[in-house]
Amino acid sequence: MPNPLTTRQERILRAVVEEFVASGAPVGSKHIVSSTDIDAAASTVRYELARLEDLGYLDHPHTSAGRRPTDRGYRYYVDVVLPSTPDAVPAPPAAIGNALGVGELQREVDAALETLAEVVSQVTNLLGVVTAPPPQGTTVCHVEVLLLQPQVVMVVVITSTGAVNKRLFAFEEPVDPGLIDWARTVFNERVTGQSLGAWSIESRLIDPSMSPREAGFLTTLIPAITDVDHRSAEHLFVGGRARFLSETRDHLAAIDALMERLEERATLLSLLRGALSRHEVYLQIGHELGSPALSGVSMVAANYGVARRNLGTVSLFGPSRMDYGLAIATVREAARRLSELMEGVYQ
């Protein structure tokens, strides 16, 4: 993030973002002066708008038009303005809690996820996407620990679904080959047949009889097993397709590209995977999604899971001109509620 804007520039940027999100029309200096409490003359606001445009936070469709936010402007709004403006992020929608509060859904995880994808879409008019946790029946069949180079170890995990997952670990010093053989034996003796969703995998591997060197080595390698489901086949639940298309007709090119990503399941999952390593709301705006075709699209996502393990994500996709405060509040609350539900399922 570049040097922070002045307080007045931040207030003007907020006014432009929120008005543009609400109306879809470029915002001029006269509107800002007449509809906000910014204490500045129209000439001063025009100067600040021009300055914000020079800095890359705003642009304008043609010479006589008002300004609209760029991806950079949205990013500053999300990272700086929203956290410092409590009233900009609304209370979590009550519909989120209601969607997961029905007794039958407590027993039917897939039904809960499908319902939640639809609800987050309804309350935001965006496309709701929820990734499911791995099937609880998936177990570890075999673990191989290999020394590829003196300081590089590869762990290969084969699951009951036939998936083969590989993960590399780099160490600062050469690894003892004897430690490799020992770790291979421990993994296969203690986690073969264990569910990928079992919270007890780490406790089964580490015991007081191990030396600090042994326990530390195993602890480093454990994510190769506990995180294996993130590279396996996840299920997607998508809510609000028809509603989303009807609400976003002015962004057809970007929306068509997004719908293609829904069909290319692996590509969409790669976009969502960034959220799995985070413990806060994860956003990608416009060009940050890594595809020119998605330049007008933004993603807001949060992960859900159980203690020390993320299981999936709740995300919203839509035009960069979205209500970020509402989107953030929605995915944050949905992820929190899902985490509470999963604590009962994965105990």
- Determine the pLDDT at residue 199: 53
Rounded to the nearest 10°, the torsion over CA 82, 83, 87, 89 is 70
- Determine the pLDDT at residue 105: 43
Residue 156: other Cβ atoms inside 10 A: 14
Pairing of strands 140-149, 297-306: unpaired
pLDDT tens readout for residues 219-276: 999 888 877 644 444 578 888 887 777 666 556 666 677 777 666 666 666 667 666 6
Residue 253: other Cβ atoms inside 10 A: 12
Please report whether residue 300 resides in a domain.
yes
- Determine the pLDDT at residue 232: 46
- The CATH number covering residue 301 comes to 3.30.450.40
Give pairs for 255-263: CB < 8 Å, separation 24+.
255/297, 255/319, 257/291, 257/293, 257/294, 257/297, 258/127, 258/294, 258/297, 258/317, 260/293, 261/294, 262/236, 262/238
Based on the domain organization, do 199 and 274 belong to the same domain?
A: no
Question: Final residue of a domain: which of 206, 231, 256?
Answer: 231
- Determine the pLDDT at residue 236: 80
Based on the domain organization, do 226 and 244 belong to the same domain?
A: no
Secondary structure class of 65 (helix, strand, coil): coil
Spatial strand order of the sheet with 127-131 comes to 236-239, 127-131, 309-319, 297-306, 282-285
Based on the domain organization, do 244 and 333 belong to the same domain?
A: yes
∠ CA 227-271-155, rounded to 5°: 25
Comparing 100 with 57, the larger pLDDT belongs to 57
Based on the domain organization, do 113 and 262 belong to the same domain?
A: yes
Please report whether residue 2 resides in a domain.
no
Please report whether residue 336 resides in a domain.
yes
Instruction: Decide if pLDDT at 37 tops 90.
Output: no
Please report whether residue 1 resides in a domain.
no
pTM of this prediction exceeds 0.85: no
Mean pLDDT within 123-136: 82
Based on the domain organization, do 269 and 172 belong to the same domain?
A: no
- Determine the pLDDT at residue 182: 94
- Determine the pLDDT at residue 302: 92
CA distance 317 to 302: 12
The percentage of residues in the chain with a pLDDT greater than 70, rounded to a whole number, is 79
Instruction: Decide if pLDDT at 131 tops 90.
Output: no
The percentage of residues in the chain with a pLDDT greater than 90, rounded to a whole number, is 38
Based on the domain organization, do 114 and 127 belong to the same domain?
A: yes
Please report whether residue 265 resides in a domain.
yes
- Determine the pLDDT at residue 230: 45
Question: Final residue of a domain: which of 231, 257, 284?
Answer: 231
- Determine the pLDDT at residue 106: 43
Quote the mean pLDDT of the chain.
Answer: 82
Please report whether residue 11 resides in a domain.
yes
- In the chain, the number of structural domains is 3
Name, in order, each residue with C-beta under 8 angstroms of 103's C-beta and a sequence gap of 6 or more: none
- The CATH number covering residue 155 comes to 3.30.390.60
Based on the domain organization, do 222 and 168 belong to the same domain?
A: yes
Based on the domain organization, do 222 and 266 belong to the same domain?
A: no
Among 14-18, 100-104, 110-114, 127-131, which stretch is predicted with the lowest mean pLDDT? 100-104
Name, in order, each residue with C-beta under 8 angstroms of 145's C-beta and a sequence gap of 6 or more: 153, 154, 155, 156, 180, 181, 183, 184, 187, 221
Please report whether residue 284 resides in a domain.
yes
CA distance 284 to 56: 17
Based on the domain organization, do 95 and 191 belong to the same domain?
A: no
- Smallest CA-to-CA distance from 229 within 129, 155, 161 is with 161
- Determine the pLDDT at residue 134: 65
Based on the domain organization, do 324 and 248 belong to the same domain?
A: yes
Mean pLDDT within 123-151: 84
- Determine the pLDDT at residue 265: 64
Question: Final residue of a domain: which of 200, 231, 262?
Answer: 231
Based on the domain organization, do 259 and 122 belong to the same domain?
A: yes
Domain containing 109: what range? 89-134+234-345
pLDDT tens readout for residues 166-216: 889 999 999 999 999 999 999 999 888 877 655 567 778 888 889 999 999
- The CATH number covering residue 56 comes to 1.10.10.10
- Determine the pLDDT at residue 179: 95
- Smallest CA-to-CA distance from 112 within 310, 309, 343, 338 is with 338
CA distance 86 to 14: 13
The dihedrals phi and psi of 174, each to the nearest 5 degrees, come to -55, 145
| Cross-strand bridge partners of residue 25 | none
pLDDT tens readout for residues 40-98: 888 999 999 999 999 999 998 776 678 999 999 999 999 999 988 877 777 777 777 77
Please report whether residue 109 resides in a domain.
yes
Comparing 290 with 60, the larger pLDDT belongs to 60
Based on the domain organization, do 275 and 250 belong to the same domain?
A: yes
Comparing 30 with 135, the larger pLDDT belongs to 30
Give pairs for 252-260: CB < 8 Å, separation 24+.
253/293, 253/296, 254/293, 254/294, 254/295, 254/296, 254/297, 254/319, 255/297, 255/319, 257/291, 257/293, 257/294, 257/297, 258/127, 258/294, 258/297, 258/317, 260/293
